[in-house]
Chains A and B, each alone.
Chain A
Amino acid sequence: MSSASNTLISVLYHCPCNGATQSPGGLDTGVRVNSEGEEAVVPNASSNSELEAQLKLPLQPNSELLVLRASAIENLYYCDDCSELRCSRCVIEEPAGYHCPNCLFDVPTASVRSEKNCCARNCFQCPVCTHMLSVVETDTETRPFSFACSVCYWDSREIGWEFEKATGISPQIEAIKASDQQAKEYTSLLEYWRTVYRISATSAPTSTLGGHSVGGALKSRFGLSSGLAGNSASTAVIPPYQAAGYMDTDHTRVSQRMNIENVDTVPPLSADLTSIEPQRIRLHMKLARRCRSCHHILIKPESKAQATRFKIQLMAANFLPTITLPNRLSPKTPVLLPEMPLRVGKTVPLVLRFANPLYSEMRVTVAACAPEQDSHVEVVAQQFVLAPFTELWEYDEDEDEDSDGSSSGERSAGRQRGIVDRQGNRVAIQLNLTPKAVIDNLTVPLFVTCTHQDDMDMDTDAPASAPAGGDSSRRTVTNKFWVYISLGPTVQ
């Protein structure tokens, strides 16, 4: 089925970074030019074959590392200071804001630490299905509110959490927990031992006495022997502990627990999940990304939780040409994709479309690797120019002219061999592909070089308006990268 195999077709851009180390191998540079003239750095046709001979694949097409090192252009960034491609492995991520996914409240950084990365408001998670709980009202007279989950229909009444008010749930939960017998006993015990420690520490500031008085108080708690057996006067001061309400009368079990020496087995997790209390909802982070070598910010989201936009958004698709395998060029033209699966030995024309995202012209050179055992690719149009990206209304004029069928001189005269179509800022070129072996996933590597003039005034000293006769300093930027085109399986 052609639709099923279309999912295997992808164009992946390779980032030559090493991930952990600073800058990638110097594949490309931005050549700075003085105001004398413009220098275009474009390999001409004769040196292209030399280029092809020199090309060394960074990664074999069937390498498993391709998944890590190459990704679709949507997942890649571009540092315009370094003029280089950046992938998710060679950027530094840092938090740009914390928010709760349920109530969309922006949490200030100080509160994040104190609330242990959870939402401090009424945001809780269902203990059964971890969905977000909502406060519902029923018509019982006392304490009508409770938490309910809309996915698994769990209600907090099952663990006894019922509330009087719909807001300010946190203090009501504290109140419920505080009324628990065991919790009360625990807090009073804690208070007792704290006073014991304080008294013993102040009365006799040596560590041994602290141990003595603890032993004395312990004995008096269990009534095993008189507390005055110790020789220190401090034990006489501390009254024996009175249980606040909860007393475990099973003395054998308690003394067994107190004298445990080895722990060999761990009791299994209880299967009764509904007795677990709802947890607070964890906060989500918004991440900003920086270039690893020059620390220039590449991605900066707006810190407000509801805002999905970005203040700074340097994506690869805004600087590098987008390469696609179009199904058809326009609704009326025939289908371009070759029939899948590809057959060994059969040469098919493969159409690649390059789209220029920049406002200036871009020269592109495409080179295929030397023939290898998997496939042979012949690049017909090795070098071409992409027109700049213009606003949409200009496109309509262009299309009207083209669809007239009139031979506008520019189009037919400048028609380059291998260029299938040219529309606005996009060019479709033809490659002749011959698979040579039967493999699971045929991957074709191509080396793409693109050059453009950057019109930005980099010198702040230079006057804003260029004097007559002088040139504002332009920068020629060249980007070179490998592209891996996956085409699915080949058959005999």
Chain B
Amino acid sequence: MGRLQIAPQALVCKNTIIEGDVQIGNGTVVHVGASILAKNGPIIIGSNNIISERATIINNHAHPLTIGDDNLIETDSRVEGRGMGHRNTVQVRGIIAGTSTLGNNCVVGAACTTDLAENVPDNTVLFGCPQARRMRADGNSDHLFMHKKHLEYIHEMLPRYNHIIEAE
């Protein structure tokens, strides 16, 4: 049975498609048109994530799909598999396919896709066409700062223009 648990500070728009057993953590923003489909197993989303328009998070397996904190899932992307860690970015039309997972601090570039069943190690960057990958150096502080600013801005502006699901 569908059970949607939204943490008090989360911001989930009404025009989203959320099915099944879904937990959304504190501060997370789910934009209009996003789909979170817990078809067979539950989906657990951490705190301070940004899930953009037309993003699809879908769990076709029985095991839970876990998304950590501070992730950015951009427009029209697709997340399957077992989920991801913290501070990742899935760029526009990026795909995490099959049963793959993402570690921490990774970047799936625009229109890039992981393999069907791999655990992408931390700090990996998938980019380019033809697709290549490399490891990035640490030092993500600038990006985290921007992410926080982005979140604050959304929390301020989104409720003015969209209907939000009231958390119980």
Contacts and interface: CB of A to CB of B under 8 A. Distances in A.
Interface of A: 128-129, 136-139, 151-155, 157-158, 274
A411 B10 CA distance: 68
A136 B142 contact: yes
B160 interface: no
Contacts of A154: 134, 136
Given A129-B127, A129-B128, A129-B132, A155 B142 contact: no
B127 A139 contact: no
B139 A155 contact: yes
8 contacts: A128-B134, A129-B128, A129-B132, A136-B142, A138-B141, A138-B142, A151-B128, A152-B109
Interface of B: 107, 109, 125, 127-128, 132, 134, 136-137, 139, 141-142
Given A128-B134, A129-B132, A151 B141 contact: no
A391 B142 CA distance: 55
A274 B132 CA distance: 14
B122 to A, nearest CB: 13
Residue in A129, A138, A153, A158 whose Cβ sees the most chain B Cβ within 10 Å: A153
B142 A152 contact: no
B137 A152 contact: no
Residue in B107, B127, B128, B132 whose Cβ sees the most chain A Cβ within 10 Å: B127
Given A128-B134, A129-B132, A152 B141 contact: no
Contact of A155 (B107, B128, B137): B137
B164 to A, nearest CB: 32
B68 to A, nearest CB: 19
> Chain A's interface: helix, strand, loop or mixed, by majority?
loop
Given A129-B128, A129-B132, A153 B107 contact: yes
B159 to A, nearest CB: 31
A154 B125 CA distance: 10
A152 B139 contact: no
A100 to B, nearest CB: 23
Contacts of B141: 138-139
Contacts of A136: 142
B150 to A, nearest CB: 16
A469 B3 CA distance: 93
Given A153-B125, A153-B134, A155-B137, 14 more contacts: A129-B127, A129-B128, A136-B142, A139-B142, A151-B127, A151-B128, A152-B127, A152-B132, A154-B134, A154-B136, A155-B136, A157-B137, A157-B139, A274-B134
A274 B136 CA distance: 11
